[in-house]
Structure 1
Amino acid sequence: MPTIRVELMEGRTPEQKKNLVKALTQAVVETLGSQPASVDVLLYDIKRSDWATGGELWSEKK
């Protein structure tokens, strides 16, 4: 059973997440030959204040 963990900066809409989950599931089905029901996708929303790139928090970027 493939499990995909996706970490996203918060702010995506439910529709965007739904489309992402469908696309990831389909990619696994096509690539690995898995059944859709066996593919788990875990979405983690990360606050901008908990995500940094280049030593700078995203919540402090302009």
Structure 2
Amino acid sequence: MPFIQINLGEGRTAEQKDKLIRAVSAAAADAISVPEASVRVWLVEVPATEILVGGQTLAERQAGRS
């Protein structure tokens, strides 16, 4: 039974996160030929202030877009 953890910076909608975990589950089941019921996927949402990208926090980068 595969266990898949996804670490994702905060800021996505509930719908986007749901779509992601469902797609990953289906892809894993297909890739290793197991029933999707045996696949475990969970998402860990990381606060944007706790991710650094190129010397800026994700929160700072996101604020620069607006």
**The TM-score by the shorter chain falls in which range?**
0.7 to 0.9
TM-score normalized by structure 1? 0.86
Q: Which amino acid aligns with 1:22?
A: R
Distance of 2:11 and 2:59 partners within structure 1: 13
How many equivalent pairs are there?
Answer: 62
CA RMSD between the two structures: 1.2
Q: Unaligned stretches of 5+ in structure 1?
A: none
Moved over 3 A (4+): none
What is the identity percentage for the equivalent residue pairs of Structure 1 and Structure 2?
35
Distance of 2:4 and 2:18 partners within structure 1: 14
Distance of 2:39 and 2:11 partners within structure 1: 24
Q: Could you say which residue in structure 1 is the equivalent of 2:3?
A: 3
1:1-50 residue CA offsets vs partner (Å, 9 max, x unmatched): 11111111111111111111111111111110111111111101111110
> Structure 1 residue 51 and structure 2 residue 45: aligned?
no
Q: Could you say which residue in structure 1 is the equivalent of 2:14?
A: 14
TM-score normalized by structure 2? 0.81
